[in-house]
């Protein structure tokens, strides 16, 4: 057994919480092992004044960590699974996917509390095209303002930029103990989550069998199967942060999986939404099949117009 592990992490409060959570689990399981955290700055952390959709999407938060893993500088990295591209660099794999916490999106509006109570033309901050499109579908009158930065930065901007509301992931707020900021968890018929939202991904080298064996206990198989379907859906649609897609899968009994998904135009006017069920052992195929069906039923036209624009 290895004597030490080096965990790579971004330096934001949430990323550090996630890395420390995994480190604590490892220390409890392997009390004689030395666990070290190495903070790193990613491209996504450096560029805060440009919408993610214009600078490349998900890989912006993982690339530097993956380079460090491949060079042997770190042994593993802890990510929010929703930040990970569907294709990983050659030589790296998802060693474990942790049990999912609430995958929902939180509305934070101290004055108005809920989406339906926001005034006409209310200013709502979000950095996500997925959230923007679904919000505009429900409330076409809203003025959506781009909002970048870490969770604490975005919470401050709610006040400093005089926004009526902002949207953040429920999971991140709960992990940091900031539940009191949540005024509404948006129902999934209004806002489906991002792929993998609420789950942590632990990435490691494919050939590092010792580390993979050490991490295996952290894997939560129902969450892994559900997010496998979601990531397969996204890969088939060939989407990323720059395409308004929501998808959520859950194990409904030990052998069955249900997947809900939506493809939208950025203005929320064009919508394709469907649900599919299948065997948990065929999670990836279920996600791909649903994606193909939705593309054939109008999704392809939505994406074609998006690419034209």
Average pLDDT by stretches of 10, the chain with 309 residues? 89 94 97 95 54 51 88 95 91 97 97 98 95 98 92 93 96 96 97 97 97 97 97 86 88 94 96 97 97 96 81
pLDDT score of 2:
77
Contacts of 175 (CB under 8 A, 6+ apart): 14, 17, 18, 21, 101
Which residue's structure tokens are 């959506």? 144
**pTM, full prediction:** 0.91
pLDDT score of 148:
82
pLDDT score of 102:
94
Question: Which pairing describes strands 200-205 and 271-279: parallel, antiparallel, or unpaired?
Answer: unpaired
Q: Which of 103, 83, 52, 79 is nearest to 243 (CA)?
A: 52
Alpha carbon of residue 284 to chain centroid: 18
Tell me the domains of the chain and their CATH numbers.
Answer: 4-98+199-219 (3.40.190.10), 105-185 (3.40.190.10), 235-308 (3.30.160.40)
Which residue's structure tokens are 């993982």? 62
The residue from 32, 49, 83, 179 that is catalytic is: 83
CA–CA gap between residue 217 and residue 98 (Å, rounded): 9
CA–CA gap between residue 289 and residue 232 (Å, rounded): 9
**Three-class DSSP category at 190:** coil
Mark out the alpha helices in the chain (DSSP H runs): 13-29, 43-46, 52-55, 63-70, 129-138, 151-160, 170-175, 209-215, 221-237, 283-294, 300-308
Using the CB atoms, write b or e for 43-55: b if 16+ within 10 Å: ebbeeeeebbbee
Annotation says 83 is catalytic: yes
């Amino acid at each position: 057994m290895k004597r030490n592990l080096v965990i790579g992490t971004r330096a934001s409060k949430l990323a550090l919480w996630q890395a420390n959570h995994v480190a604590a689990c490892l220390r409890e399981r392997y009390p004689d092992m030395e666990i070290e955290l190495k903070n790193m700055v990613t491209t996504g952390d450096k560029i805060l004044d440009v919408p993610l959709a214009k600078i490349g999407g998900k890989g912006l938060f993982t690339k530097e960590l993956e380079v460090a893993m491949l060079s042997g500088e770190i042994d593993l990295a802890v990510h929010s699974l929703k930040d990970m591209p569907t294709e990983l660099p050659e030589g790296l794999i998802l060693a474990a996917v942790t049990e999912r916490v609430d995958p929902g999106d939180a509305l934070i509006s101290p004055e108005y509390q809920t989406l339906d109570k926001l005034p006409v033309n209310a200013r709502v901050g979000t950095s996500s095209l997925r959230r923007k499109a679904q919000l505009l579908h429900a409330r076409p009158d809203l003025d959506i303002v781009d909002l970048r930065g870490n969770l604490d930065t975005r919470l401050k901007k709610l006040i400093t930029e005089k926004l009526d509301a902002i949207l953040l992931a429920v999971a991140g707020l709960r992990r940091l103990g900031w539940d009191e900021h949540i005024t509404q968890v948006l129902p999934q018929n209004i806002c489906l989550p991002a792929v993998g939202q609420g789950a942590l991904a632990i990435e490691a080298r494919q050939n590092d069998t010792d580390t993979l064996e050490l991490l295996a206990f952290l894997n939560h198989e129902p969450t892994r199967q559900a997010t496998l379907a979601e990531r397969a859906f996204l890969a088939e649609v060939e989407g990323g942060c720059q395409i308004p897609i929501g998808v959520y899968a859950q194990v409904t009994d030990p052998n069955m999986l249900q997947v809900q998904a939506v493809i939208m135009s950025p203005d929320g006017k064009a919508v394709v939404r469907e649900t599919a069920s299948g065997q948990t052992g065929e999670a990836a195929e279920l996600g791909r099949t649903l994606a193909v069906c939705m593309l054939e039923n109008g999704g392809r036209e939505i994406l074609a117009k998006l690419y034209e624009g």
